[in-house]
Structure 1
Amino acid sequence: MTDAETSVGRRPENLVLGALLTTAAFFCVAMVGTLAKVAGQYTSTGVLLLFQNAICLLFVIPVVMRGGWSSMRTGKIGLHVLRAVAGTACWYALFFAIARIPLANATLLTYSAPLWMPLIAWAVTRQRVATATWVGAVVGFAGVVLVLQPQGHRVDVGELAAFAGALLLAVAMMSVRWLGATEPILRVLFYFFLLSTLLSVPIAALDWRPIPPAAWAWLIGLGLAQLSSQTLIVLAYRYAPAEKLGPFIYSVIVFTAVADWLFWNHPPTLVTYGGMALVIGGGLIAIRARRQARQPVRE
């Protein structure tokens, strides 16, 4: 999931390195989903959510302390709360989904989020959205319909959860973009992990299941994979802007499809391949349209 779309600390552009770091980051995101699916066999979704956020917070706090707590002062607490609520709900929806449907399908549906960002931006700002952006959204939505296949079977609650996760992720991504205008990367990450951990505590308490010894390694791995993804994406955006690295986000769909095939024997069907192609293609069209629109008109 993209949690640090800022340009703080930008170095001379190196698109190749930025692309490699972004791809590595979303390999780690795929690992988060894979580890959550394994750990979910031992404990509850709420516990997964709490461990993911708490482990990341434990690693971020010492970094913040070295820089001084005064650097965490913010005038954008409302946006930080919005981002944390949307992000936490998104992760809960994704973890809930992957326990019920194939990992690849859950990830594909959730990471259709960029397709919904233009609609959210239009609803909030009422600014004109480029025709090509809408075309990309329609193409991607056709891919979502292919994956859901509503005419072939009843839509599963896991699929609905993953789709809801996509809308929540789109809100989280938009809030990160707005925060990135003024907030440094460390502050964005600190408030996200702090607020998400606080939000996860009551969820885990209500959804508590005893944690067997076999689950601890998977839970710690889950948190470390999430932390690695955030660290790598922060590094990536230092070498290239988010607009140019956007297409590499979709590598997470490929990685999770491979993991689903290898570990759970869920080879993608031709229909799923078609859905993947349409979602990725629609996302690329929308990204390109936004990139071109930024030159004559500021969004």
Structure 2
Amino acid sequence: PLLLLRGLSSGISIILFFYAMSKISFANATVLCYTNPIFAAVLGAMFLKEKLDLKTVALIITAFAGIILVLKPDFTGTGPGEAAGLLAGFFGGIGSAATRRLREKNESSFAVVFYFYIYSSLMALPLSYKGLMPDAPEAWLLICAIAVLITLALLFSISGYKYCSLATGSALSLLVVVFSYICGVLFLGEPSGLLSILGACLIVFANLFIIMKEKKIPAVE
């Protein structure tokens, strides 16, 4: 049941995120989707009996504020796109909570990733009847590279939940925004600015403080 919950919730989160991007800007969709650490921390405290103190909450909010500074969303109203982005964050939080519980039960990271791909592929298949096969060879290379990198990222992320709390693991996932920002500046020529740099620093320092205050959680052998 937990593998099913994890696969379905994470798959729904991804589908909702892409739907949100089709309706609103990438920055707005990403900020809404990255509310998932907040939902994950609350779910961990409610259902996994993990301790959630005010300092951790404040640090997660600080990191989220950093994301807003990096992406600079321009919310002008509410609609289906905004709702989908927020729901993507909620279901992402459920997926993170299920992952943490699976790792407590010593479930293999490979099994978690495998079932995630199975369930998310089955859900996405009916939605991909148009443009299922890319035409350009370069597109295939990019798709293969993305698949390999995402799989590695998932394996490392899922393995990490064996050794840290749900709140800490979810907060660390926000570093994706920092690395994406750096890669965009270095390799894609995207503009940089003082607010973006400040936001990236907030995310990094908030995570450093979370790691330093995190009590050691014994691994499940």
Q: From 94, 103, 106, give the equivalent of 1:180.
A: 103
Distance 1:127 1:227, change over 3 A: closer
Contact in 2 for aligned 1:122/1:128 (Cα 8 Å):
yes
**Is 1:241 matched with 2:163?**
yes
> 1:136 is matched with which residue?
59
**Identical residues among aligned pairs (%):** 23
Residue 186 of structure 1 deviates from its aligned partner by 2.9
**Is 1:82 matched with 2:5?**
yes
Distance 1:256 1:161, change over 3 A: farther
Q: Unaligned stretches of 5+ in structure 1?
A: 1-76
Q: From 122, 127, 133, give the equivalent of 1:211.
A: 133
Q: From 116, 120, 123, give the equivalent of 1:196.
A: 120
Distance 1:270 1:203, change over 3 A: same
Residue 126 of structure 1 deviates from its aligned partner by 7.0
Report the 3-state secondary structure (helix = DSSP H, G, I; strand = E; otherwise coil) of the residue aligned with 2:191.
coil
Distance 1:115 1:189, change over 3 A: same
Give the aligned residue type for 1:140: A
Distance 1:94 1:250, change over 3 A: same
Residue 87 of structure 1 deviates from its aligned partner by 1.0
> 1:113 is matched with which residue?
36
Partners in 1 of 2:117 and 2:43 — Cα distance? 24
Contact in 1 for aligned 2:12/2:120 (Cα 8 Å):
no
Partners in 1 of 2:53 and 2:37 — Cα distance? 15
> 2:76 is matched with which residue?
154
**Deviations 1:7-48 (CA, angstroms, capped at 9, x unpaired):** xxxxxxxxxxxxxxxxxxxxxxxxxxxxxxxxxxxxxxxxxx
Partners in 2 of 1:229 and 1:223 — Cα distance? 10
Distance 1:232 1:174, change over 3 A: closer
Distance 1:96 1:147, change over 3 A: farther
Distance 1:209 1:224, change over 3 A: same
> 2:196 is matched with which residue?
272
Contact in 2 for aligned 1:141/1:279 (Cα 8 Å):
yes
Residue 257 of structure 1 deviates from its aligned partner by 0.8
> What stretches of structure 1 move > 6 A for 4+ residues in a row?
156-160
Cα root mean square deviation, aligned = 3.9
Residue 258 of structure 1 deviates from its aligned partner by 2.7
Partners in 1 of 2:83 and 2:187 — Cα distance? 24
Give the aligned residue type for 2:116: F
* Residues paired across the two proteins, number: 210
The structure that has the greater radius of gyration is 1
Residue 83 of structure 1 deviates from its aligned partner by 1.0
Give the aligned residue type for 2:12: A
Report the 3-state secondary structure (helix = DSSP H, G, I; strand = E; otherwise coil) of the residue aligned with 1:292.
coil
Q: State the structure with bigger RCO (CA 8 A, min sep 6), 1 or 2.
A: 1
Residue 154 of structure 1 deviates from its aligned partner by 2.0
Give the aligned residue type for 2:65: A
Distance 1:113 1:96, change over 3 A: same
Contact in 1 for aligned 2:66/2:198 (Cα 8 Å):
yes
Distance 1:155 1:124, change over 3 A: farther
Q: From 176, 179, 182, give the equivalent of 1:252.
A: 176
Residue 203 of structure 1 deviates from its aligned partner by 2.6
Q: Unaligned stretches of 5+ in structure 2?
A: none
Residue 174 of structure 1 deviates from its aligned partner by 1.0
Distance 1:82 1:248, change over 3 A: closer
Residue 121 of structure 1 deviates from its aligned partner by 2.3
**Is 1:168 matched with 2:62?**
no
TM-score (norm 1): 0.54
